[in-house]
Structure 1
Amino acid sequence: MNSRDSFITKIAFLSVSFVLTSAYAIQGALPQMKAALNISQTQAEYLATSPAFLVIFFVIASPFIARLCHLSDKKVIQIGLIIVGLAGIAPFFISNYWLILLSRLILGAGFGLYNSQAIALISVWYAGNDRSQMLGWRAAAEQLGQACTLVIAGGLLTFSWHAPFLVYLLAFVALAIFSFRVPDDEHLEEQAQTTNVTSQDVEPTTHRSVTKISPMVGLLVAFAFILVVDYVGMNNRFSGLAVAINGQNYQGASLFLSLMLVGATLGGITYGTIQKHLGFNTVYLGLGLMAIANFLFGLAGNNFVVMVVGLLLIGFPLQLVSPLIFNLLPDLAPLNKQPLVTSLVLIGFNFGAFFSPTAAEIINKLLNKPMSGLGLAAPFPIYGVILLVIAGIIFITKQKNNN
């Protein structure tokens, strides 16, 4: 069995997360697909966003499918990667819009099938600082994967609008690395219950005293929802605000959105180190920086530089807080419920992304701000205040528990 502390084994764990955010890799090809397939702008956009619809469903269904079919987390991840690879490259051979749309929906099913297992498996095999570090690296791998697949797909677009879909061949590369290097967890729970496992390779990390799912899981789901409503909302509205400030011909928004991913990647990479020194206080640092980012972004007015600083800042603290959420789960549910609680948190993240435009629109209406121009920045000071309130509630609750 391969040592879990091996560098190659850690890369194998992270490789499956590298392709998890590749659903939007083909966005650069949408104008070409629109022209070639003779479809509307909305239909073209659905080719990029449709995977998200089935991600939520299969994140919920994945633990039950695994239990029904007696599949280990490793096997679920392998099946998910196969689906992603096959469904992802299918449009390379297809020129029918509805068949491409169907393949994109199946792609989302593949992502949703193994999303929670990719996180839960790390929580099972790693403990303490190692787990914190791996969860941070996993978040960084997602951001790096999104950036890399966008660049690769953009390069492939020079050949044809079909070519960007070849980026999903990376799923088979991840499958090969993962299959050969990651230990199978199929009998881990049984070993944990019947033997005193001390081997470095098969040590279960969930506390055995945890026998049921804590109500705190529900609060973490709501927390995840709020974080992503804010983060995705800022991404969605930056382009419109950039044009409002710089003029209709401005086309540089995508550059800054890409740079924001660099900050998010750095947050994931440094999470383990920061968490090692600050412990639970990492959540206060993350929420504080996110609040500052929202105030800079939302109150910048016509100052484009200040707005960009807010945008570039938002990704870093998000990757400090989101891994912490997953890092808390092993202490809030028994080992065999880890895929389920991880799925619930992922639902919070995904539903937050889905609901973000509506949440921002509601705040615009409540504030009587226009859904255009600088009015697009209206929700973000409100988000900043909400984040500070959450930090305060967490601090007070923790102090009461300590006392």
Structure 2
Amino acid sequence: MLTSTNVPEDKRSPFLALGILSISFLISVSNAVSGTIPLMEKYFSDVSRANVELLVVVPTAGVLLGTVISGLVSNLLGKKYTVIAGLTISLIFGIIPAFFFSYPAILISRAMFGVGMGVFTPLSVSYITDLFPEDTRNRLLGWRNSIGSIGDAIMLFIAGFLINISWHTTYLVFLFLLVPIILVMLLVPKQYDNIVVEEGGEVVEEVAKAKPTTNGGVIQLAIIFLFVCLFYSAIGLKLASYMVNNHVGTAADATRIFGFLVLCSIVSGVAFEKIAKWFGKYTVAIAEIIVATTMIVMAFTESIPLLLVLVLVSGFCNGIVHPALTARMVHYSPKDSMNFTTSIIIIGINIGGLVAPYFFQFFGGMVGNAGPGNMILWSGLFFVLLAAYDLIVVKKDQLTI
């Protein structure tokens, strides 16, 4: 149940926005320690390579569990303390491999690190969608992507220094979680746990906890997110192999190209608000068509400079698709269920990333060619279908973005 309330003007202060955005600073950095894999393979000589690689990807499974329980924890503790609890869980379990060196201990700690991330990640979105009117909301959703990319770059940079000491020390990089913990404690008032800004700008306050619910629109949005992440992952999974197999360049060349994607994500996040105003309800479809075009051309390109341009354009447009789809959660989510809605969306995103390698293997067998270039080409064609479907959804559901 909601009731009108008076909210101090500091609700829209830059300090509150800073505190909320800081939650997103470390959302995408669980792979900051991926560089430790070769060193851990030597250390755990009696463990298979696949099981060593599992240490890097197992947080994703933890995120799925944490996302499921996030709403329950939020109902018990409120938004602020749930965020702090999730960040603290990730901090504690994130640094355990720096002190305990057995494989089971590290495996469990990495899974629990993901659980912590799953607990606080949905609230990084619902805080924005609940507290801010549409224009500010779109701006902050774009900035959220940028903040995540900046955090990714900083943490990878720090990890690059720590790994020179030892692979154990690299895990101390997660001490940086103290930064958002402190900022949330100081800058995000507990009184905003139950504040919601309605579409018309009216500020209301929840006075009773309603059981969170969902609907077909939310499930549809989660499935769209799943397919966007699934098909876009073809670039990350297949481009390096395509370059090497076709003698376009080396794996190192591909790594350098991917390095520019961080900058690209930062720019797209900052530009999102203006782009959303220019293209309105066609923002997602236009961005997906451009992604499709770049991926189709990519599959026939044998020039490193052109590949760099195509990857950057694709990365920029993908950085527009995500906040645009996220903004639609306000339209679809039932009242009092934004945290639950966000959890469902995050589950869709993570499933898309998890199944991607197996999907491309299966689909490649179906079409008789699982080559990396062919999978990039098909992913581009699938993006055309996503764009066409989006035009139908925009009209059917009367979306404004």
Structure 2 length-normalised TM? 0.88
Residue matched to 1:208:
none
Deviates further, 173-182 or 267-276 = 267-276
Q: Distance in 2 between matches of 1:131 and 1:197?
A: 12
2:133 aligns with one of 127, 130, 141: 127
Shift in alpha-carbon separation, 1:93–1:321, aligned structure 2, 3 A: same
Deviates further, 151-160 or 180-189 = 180-189
Structure 2 counterpart of 1:50, which letter?
Answer: V
Shift of 1:299: 2.8
Shift in alpha-carbon separation, 1:99–1:218, aligned structure 2, 3 A: same
Tell me the secondary structure at the aligned position of residue 369 of structure 2: coil
Tell me the secondary structure at the aligned position of residue 282 of structure 1: helix
Deviates further, 50-59 or 32-41 = 32-41
Shift of 1:378: 0.9
Q: Distance in 2 between matches of 1:394 and 1:307?
A: 27
Tell me the secondary structure at the aligned position of residue 252 of structure 1: helix
Residue matched to 1:350:
350
Q: Distance in 1 between matches of 2:168 and 2:213?
A: 49
Shift in alpha-carbon separation, 1:223–1:283, aligned structure 2, 3 A: same
Q: Distance in 2 between matches of 1:99 and 1:289?
A: 45
Q: Distance in 1 between matches of 2:281 and 2:191?
A: 29
Matched, 1:14 2:30: no
Shift in alpha-carbon separation, 1:131–1:204, aligned structure 2, 3 A: farther
Superimposed CA distance per residue, residues 242-299 of structure 1 (whole angstroms, 9 cap, x where no aligned partner): 3223489652322211212221221112111211232222112211221122112223
Structure 2 counterpart of 1:138, which letter?
Answer: R
Residue matched to 1:367:
367
Question: Does the CA contact (< 8 Å) of 2:248 and 2:304 recur in 1?
Answer: no
Shift of 1:184: 2.2
Q: Distance in 1 between matches of 2:395 and 2:21?
A: 35
Q: Distance in 2 between matches of 1:363 and 1:329?
A: 31
Residue matched to 2:38:
31
Question: Does the CA contact (< 8 Å) of 1:137 and 1:268 recur in 2?
Answer: yes
C-alpha RMSD over aligned residues: 2.6
Superimposed CA distance per residue, residues 46-99 of structure 1 (whole angstroms, 9 cap, x where no aligned partner): 1211101111122122113333xx221221111000011111111111121211
Structure 2 counterpart of 1:258, which letter?
Answer: G
Shift in alpha-carbon separation, 1:4–1:249, aligned structure 2, 3 A: same
Residue matched to 2:280:
279
Shift in alpha-carbon separation, 1:396–1:109, aligned structure 2, 3 A: closer
Superimposed CA distance per residue, residues 205-252 of structure 1 (whole angstroms, 9 cap, x where no aligned partner): 9xxxxx974422121111101110122221011222232234896523
Question: Does the CA contact (< 8 Å) of 2:96 and 2:109 recur in 1?
Answer: yes
Shift in alpha-carbon separation, 1:222–1:316, aligned structure 2, 3 A: same
Question: Does the CA contact (< 8 Å) of 1:23 and 1:48 recur in 2?
Answer: yes
Shift in alpha-carbon separation, 1:158–1:341, aligned structure 2, 3 A: same
Deviates further, 153-162 or 361-370 = 361-370
Residue matched to 1:86:
92
Question: Does the CA contact (< 8 Å) of 1:14 and 1:138 recur in 2?
Answer: yes
Residue matched to 2:70:
62
Residue matched to 2:323:
323
Q: Distance in 2 between matches of 1:20 and 1:26?
A: 14
2:386 aligns with one of 386, 390, 393: 390
Residue matched to 1:298:
299
Alignment of 1:306-317 (within 5 A): 306-317=306-317
Runs (5+) with no aligned partner, structure 1: 206-210
Residue matched to 1:138:
144
Question: Does the CA contact (< 8 Å) of 1:51 and 1:109 recur in 2?
Answer: yes
Q: Distance in 1 between matches of 2:197 and 2:383?
A: 39
